[in-house]
Chain A
Amino acid sequence: MKTRPQSNCLRRKRGFSLIEMTLAIFMSLWVASATVVLMKQHVYFIKAINQFGFLRDEAPMINVLMSHIIQRADAYRIYETKGNAMAGTGAVNTGGKAVWLRLRNPDGSFEQSIIAFEETAGEGSLNYYVHDGAVWGEAPDWTISSLPQDVTFSNDSGVLLIQMTGPNQEEITYVGYSE
C-alpha cells in the first residue's frame, strides 16, 4: 500500500494556531459588539421618534376635534370638575378641568355639552358629555383622547386656552375660538 509522506499528512491535519484562534475570537467579538451598538442605536432612535408621537400626531388631532366642537358653541364656562360643570356651580377662570358649552341649534333651541378631563385609576382621558335635555349621562358619550396626562382650561387672557400635557411631560397650548 502506498502512503503519503508523514510530513505532508501532518501539515494537512494541522489546525489553527493559538494566535490565529485568539485573533479570530477577538475579531468575532469585535463584530458582535459593533452589531450590539448598532442595535442599541436603532432602539434609541425608535424610542426618540415615539417620544414625539403625542406632539406630532395626537395633540393636533385633539385640537381639530376640540376646535370643531368649541367653534359651534356660542357660550362657554370653565369649571374645576366635571361635577361642578354639570351642576353649574363654581365657575373659574384658571385651572379648570372641565368646560361647559352651550350650542345653538338651527331652530334656535339650545343644547349643552361638557368637555372634561378625568382620571380613572391613574389613567387620564378627555371625555365629551352631552345633556340629553333632562339629565347628564353617567358615562361619557365619547372619549376625545386617552393619551393626555393632564388638560387645563383657562381664559385669564380673554380667550379660551387649552393646555395639554402628554405622556412624556410635553406641553402644548391651543386656543378655543368661542366668545
Chain B
Amino acid sequence: MKVSKRQSRRTIRGSMIVEVSVGFWVLLGVAFLMLKAAGTVTSGQRWTVLQSMTDAYMTKETAVGNRWPFDDFKSNGSPWPTYPSISQQTVVIGKLPGGIPLSATLKRTKYPAPNNLSGSGGSGTSTTNPASTECWKLQSLLSYKVGTRDYVKARTTLRVR
C-alpha cells in the first residue's frame, strides 16, 4: 500500500503522544507494583513484630504462673478461676512506633488434675492419691488481630505440690 508523505509525517509526529502515554502507564504500573510490594513487606514485618511482642507477653504469663503462690491462685479472687469460669481482660502488650498502644484480650482459667482430692477439684481418694498430691494446670490465652486475621496464643503452666 502506498502511503503519502503527509500521512507518514502525521504518524511520526503523533507517535510522541503514544510514547509518553506508554511511559506514563508503565510508570503507573511500576508505582502500583511498588505499593503492593510495600504492603506485603510492611504487613509481614508487622506480623513478625506482633509475634515477638505477644511472645514476650506470654513469657510473662508463664513466669507469673510459676511464681504465683499456690494458695493465692486457688483462692476465690484468683486471676486463674477454675474452669468453666474464665477471667477476661483487655491488656496492653506494648506500643508500636509512634507510641500507638497495642491491645489484646487475655483469658485465664485453671484445671484441676482428675486425681486431686475432692477438696482440690479432683475425684481422687486417699487410695488413688495417698500423698495428697495436688496438681493444677494454669492456662492463659491471648487473642489479638493482625490485619484481618485473628490469632490466639496459649501458654500452660503446670503447678504441683
Contact = CB atoms under 8 A, between A and B. Distances in A.
A166 B99 CA distance: 10
A164 to B, nearest CB: 9
Given A28-B20, A31-B24, A56 B42 contact: no
A146 interface: no
Contacts of A173: 56-57, 60, 94
A55 interface: yes
Contact of A31 (B27, B42, B46, B60): B27
A28 B20 CA distance: 8
Interface string A160-179: 01000110111111110100
A20 interface: yes
Interface residues of B, number: 36
17 contacts: A24-B16, A28-B20, A30-B20, A31-B20, A31-B23, A31-B27, A34-B24, A34-B31, A41-B31, A48-B42, A54-B97, A169-B97, A170-B95, A172-B94, A175-B56, A175-B59, A175-B63
Given A38-B27, A169-B97, 15 more contacts: A31-B24, A34-B27, A38-B30, A41-B35, A42-B34, A49-B42, A56-B48, A59-B52, A161-B60, A170-B98, A171-B95, A172-B95, A173-B56, A173-B57, A175-B60
